[in-house]
Amino acid sequence: MKKYLFILLICFSCNSPKPVEETKNEINALVDQWHKAAAEANFDNYFNALSEDAIFIGTDATENWNKTDFMAYSKPYFDRGKAWSFTTLERNVFITDDGKTAWFDELLNTQMKICRGSGILTNENNQWKIKHYVLSMTIPNENSDVVIKAKDSLESLLIQKLKK
């Protein structure tokens, strides 16, 4: 009887999710390596971190790409040997109870100064993949009027187009 109980415990522990901190460390490492791949213009490593059905939303209102379109847009930057360089200033990671989905938000030091990134990851075949990522520029509240004025002519036209 003890032998069967022992086997049952081993089987149960094999199917339980990893400890949360271990999973958070894996996710942090993946996202750090993803940003590093862009800084080093490593196209394959960068895009291998994304799920096949990934979505990347950039800072421009027109930048809402599936993986294939984002690869096409990004390829010339990577081919020049310089894509973009984001270093994490702060990141928060959250994981579902079943350990299959995670999400994060981060503040990044970029060529655009501080940006905010947020993403959703899924565990596919015991490997984390970025499924959805949103990059946005931060705007200090006291400067929002200046930014709104700078965006007005371009985005007013885009708003009208999108309303149709």
pTM: 0.87
Tell me, what's the pLDDT at 41?
A: 98
**Residue of 100, 139, 102 lying closest to 119 (CA atoms):** 102
> What is the DSSP secondary-structure string of 27-67?
HHHHHHHHHHHHHTT-HHHHHHTEEEEEEEE-SSTT-EEEH
Tell me, what's the pLDDT at 2?
A: 60
- Segments of the chain scoring below 70 in pLDDT: 1-16
Tell me, what's the pLDDT at 18?
A: 83
CATH number for the segment(s) 18-163: 3.10.450.50
